[in-house]
Amino acid sequence: MGFIGWIVLGLIAGAIAKAIKPGEQGGGWLATLLLGVVGAIVGGWLGSAIFGVGVNEFWSLSTWLLAISGSLIVLIIWGLITRKKA
């Protein structure tokens, strides 16, 4: 799957990740979608590098799970970084 495919997948995965973990990240929807793209790319890279999972097909379940997982991880990290300190 090409870079454009990962961008599209990341936008969708970012929206899904935001729906799973809403309201805890700063930056609004645009930041969430951009972080979703980063998370999908990171998730795909880690999945293929560490687990040896092929992520070449857009409609593959493993590709989607890795993209959504990567997006959730990036959003959680972003939420921890941007959380207001009391």
Question: 6-17 burial, b if ≥16 CB within 10 A, otherwise e?
Answer: bbebbbbbbbbb
Both structure tokens of 31: 């930041």
Whether 86 shows a pLDDT value over 60: the answer reads: no
Q: Tokens 């997948």 appear where?
A: 9
pLDDT category, 47, cuts 50, 70, 90?
confident
pTM score, two decimals? 0.77
**Residue pLDDT, tens place only, 64-83:** 888 888 888 888 888 888 87
- The pLDDT of residue 23: 66
CA dihedral 22, 45, 9, 3 (to 10 degrees): 140
Q: Position 22: which residue type?
A: P
Which residues, 6+ apart, have CB-to-CB distance to 55 below 8 Å? 1, 44, 47, 48, 62, 63, 66
